[in-house]
């Protein structure tokens, strides 16, 4: 039968109940909410580089100490990912995202009144960082639950929100600073981030309830008539067989079938329906956080990929403007370079979603190719000279970053990693492991810049992390297939030992039917 949706009275507060993954429906509204949440979370984080020089001048601090603002923010965002998973499973995605939006906005607004860089460590780093975690992860998780066949494409397109944000926010904030200063500009960004709370209210829960096909009555009647025909062929009837034959030939001995006695047929059917209804809805065994994914070798390799690849996600967007300024490029042209990177990332995300949506493609291998090309893009930055050289490198990096950044978390739902059933817990653990790189990446790049007095060292460190991530990503599929083969061998051993007893009832029925036929012929001959 076709997919059905139970009617609900309040459109934004009740759960959507589907018989299978809808691949659309209210999922399009969730996709739009994810687009806006991406813009107001990662879009703001990537645009924070426009405040770097202002903060260094206002607080008289070095690159590395200012970099700790985003480092702490990213660390808290990723370190508290398991907490986000637990809260989402306990209170629902909607309330968690709305609370996260309030924290993000509160931290950014208070940061605009900061008097030292330590104040920003607390406000943007801890308060907003926790809000970013509570906002982003539940949104991408529930979006993956609304889509199956189109999951890669829809998630990739919706994740372009951060690209459009960087494209629009970087020039807008730069122009706004010239008019009202960096403090009021940061205050305006904090007020704008209240939109996350509105998007959270659109995240209606989804319940996938399998079709109640067990309640079909005709198959039971056809089974009864089948047994009656078999008994008629043996010159007997259901009423005339003795108790021994009735036990072996009656459908009551077949698991899940009703008795073939006409008088007891109706009560049995009515008494059996509640059992079927009790078995159709799954028992609420949802764990708040399932750490069993840590026993999956393919997930462990994928987590190490995320750990090292994170080194190359944030530092380039933070240091592209200081790098361009060190090459003698003006502020306005530097903002254009960051915007061009964001536009290229949009096309990269859409391209990756379109490619991964193709059926015969092994998505892990496509991701591996994109990661390798992303490492090449990071190495190319130190060789850029002038505005157009840096522009070409930024566009190339932005495109390749889009192919990886928009797909690495949704790929957790693929069978090559953990699958959709464990994606919620896997996403929390995966992002938690990323927190170490998120904390160490930007400060490490800042220390290298302060030591070498050259921004190229920051991009080299990012490239090294991306190469290590590619090595672990290449091991995901072999670990999964090797583990599966090992499990299949164990299952075969178990089936070989427990196989004969499992088939005993069917053989037992056939043998008893044969005995009944022989006894019937013997009685006729007598």
Residues 308 and 187 in one domain: no
Q: How far is CA 184 from the centre of its chain?
A: 36
Residues 309 and 426 in one domain: yes
Residues 24 and 133 in one domain: yes
Is residue 22 scored above 70 in pLDDT?
yes
Does residue 125 form part of some domain?
yes
**Three-state secondary-structure class, residue 216:** coil
Q: How confident is the model at residue 517 (pLDDT cuts 50, 70, 90)?
A: low
Residues 74 and 45 sit within 8 Å (Cβ to Cβ): yes
Does residue 481 form part of some domain?
yes
Is residue 515 scored above 60 in pLDDT?
no
Tell me, what CATH number does 134's domain have? Answer: 1.20.1250.20
What pLDDT does residue 492 have? Answer: 54
Q: For 448-500, write each residue's pLDDT tens digit.
A: 887 888 888 888 888 888 899 899 888 888 877 775 555 545 555 555 555 55
Residues 296 and 404 in one domain: yes
Question: 331-356 vs 386-405: helix axis angle to the nearest 10?
Answer: 30
Does residue 191 form part of some domain?
yes
Does residue 459 form part of some domain?
yes
Q: How confident is the model at residue 256 (pLDDT cuts 50, 70, 90)?
A: very low
Q: What single-letter DSSP state applies at residue 413?
A: G
Does residue 219 form part of some domain?
no
Residues 485 and 370 in one domain: yes
Residues 204 and 331 in one domain: no
Q: How many CB atoms sit inside 10 A of residue 284's CB? A: 5
Q: How confident is the model at residue 184 (pLDDT cuts 50, 70, 90)?
A: very high
Q: Which domain holds residue 32?
A: 16-210
Q: For 204-221, write each residue's pLDDT tens digit.
A: 887 777 655 444 455 554
Last residue of a domain, one of 179, 210, 241: 210
What pLDDT does residue 168 have? Answer: 83
Is residue 166 scored above 70 in pLDDT?
yes
Distances (CA, A) of 86 to 69, 127, 290: 26, 19, 10
More confident residue, 310 or 104: 104
What pLDDT does residue 277 have? Answer: 43
* Number of domains composing the chain: 2
Q: For 47-106, write each residue's pLDDT tens digit.
A: 887 888 889 888 888 877 888 888 888 888 878 888 888 888 888 888 999 999 999 999
Last residue of a domain, one of 180, 195, 210: 210
- The mean of the pLDDT values for the chain is 74
Q: How many CB atoms sit inside 10 A of residue 359's CB? A: 5
Does residue 522 form part of some domain?
no
What pLDDT does residue 464 have? Answer: 87
More confident residue, 9 or 68: 68
Last residue of a domain, one of 210, 232, 258: 210
What pLDDT does residue 211 have? Answer: 59
Report field, pTM of the whole predicted structure over 0.75: no
Q: How confident is the model at residue 504 (pLDDT cuts 50, 70, 90)?
A: very low
Q: For 119-142, write each residue's pLDDT tens digit.
A: 999 999 999 999 998 998 888 888
Q: How confident is the model at residue 339 (pLDDT cuts 50, 70, 90)?
A: confident
Does residue 508 form part of some domain?
no
Does residue 234 form part of some domain?
no
- Would residue 205 be called left, alpha or beta, if left means φ above 0 and alpha means ψ between -120 and 50 degrees? beta
């Amino acid at each position: 039968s076709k997919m059905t949706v139970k009617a609900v009275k309040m459109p934004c507060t009740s759960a959507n109940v589907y018989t299978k993954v809808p691949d659309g429906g209210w999922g399009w509204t969730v996709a739009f909410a994810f687009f806006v949440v991406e813009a107001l979370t990662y879009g703001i984080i990537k645009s924070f580089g426009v405040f770097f020089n202002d903060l260094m001048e206002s607080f008289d601090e070095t690159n590395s100490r200012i970099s700790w603002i985003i480092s702490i923010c990213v660390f808290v965002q990723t370190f508290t990912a398991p907490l986000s998973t637990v809260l989402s499973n306990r209170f629902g995605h909607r309330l968690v995202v709305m609370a996260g939006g309030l924290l993000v906005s509160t931290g950014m607004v208070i940061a605009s009144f900061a008097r030292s860089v330590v104040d920003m460590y607390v406000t943007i780093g801890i308060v907003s960082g926790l809000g970013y975690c509570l906002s982003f992860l539940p949104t991408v998780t529930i979006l993956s639950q609304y889509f199956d066949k189109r999951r890669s494409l829809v998630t990739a397109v919706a994740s372009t929100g951060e690209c459009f944000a960087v494209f629009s926010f970087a020039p807008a904030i730069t122009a706004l600073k010239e008019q009202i200063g960096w403090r009021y500009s940061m205050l305006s960004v904090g007020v704008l981030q209240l939109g996350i709370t509105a998007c959270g209210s659109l995240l209606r829960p989804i319940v996938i309830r399998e079709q109640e096909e067990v309640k079909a009555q005709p198959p039971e009647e056809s089974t009864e008539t089948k047994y009656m025909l078999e008994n008629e062929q043996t010159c007997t009837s259901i009423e005339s067989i003795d108790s021994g034959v009735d036990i072996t030939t009656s459908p009551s001995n077949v698991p899940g079938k009703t008795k073939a006695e006409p008088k007891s047929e109706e009560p049995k059917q009515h008494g059996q329906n509640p059992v079927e209804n009790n078995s159709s809805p799954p028992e609420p065994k949802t764990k708040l956080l399932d750490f069993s994914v840590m026993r999956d070798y393919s997930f462990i390799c994928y987590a190490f990929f995320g750990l090292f690849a994170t080194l190359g996600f944030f530092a380039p967007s933070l240091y592209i403007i200081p790098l361009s300024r060190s090459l003698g490029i003006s502020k306005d042209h530097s903002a254009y370079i960051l915007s061009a990177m964001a536009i290229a990332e949009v096309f990269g995300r859409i391209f990756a979603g379109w490619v991964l949506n193709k059926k015969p493609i092994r998505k892990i291998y496509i991701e591996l190719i994109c990661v390798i090309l992303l490492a090449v893009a990071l190495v190319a930055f130190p060789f850029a000279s002038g505005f157009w050289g840096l522009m070409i490198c930024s566009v190339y990096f932005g495109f390749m970053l889009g192919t990886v950044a928009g797909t690495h978390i949704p790929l957790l739902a693929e069978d090559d990693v953990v699958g959709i059933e464990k994606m919620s817990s896997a996403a929390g653990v995966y992002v938690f492991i990323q927190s170490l790189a998120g904390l160490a990446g930007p400060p490490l790049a800042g220390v290298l810049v302060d030591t070498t007095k050259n921004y190229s060292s920051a991009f080299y460190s990012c490239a090294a992390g991306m190469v290590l991530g590619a090595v672990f990503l290449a091991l995901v599929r072999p670990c999964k297939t090797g583990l599966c083969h090992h499990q299949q061998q164990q299952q075969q051993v178990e089936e070989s030992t427990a196989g004969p007893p499992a088939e005993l009832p069917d053989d037992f029925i056939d043998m008893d039917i044969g005995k009944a036929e022989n006894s019937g012929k013997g009685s006729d001959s007598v």
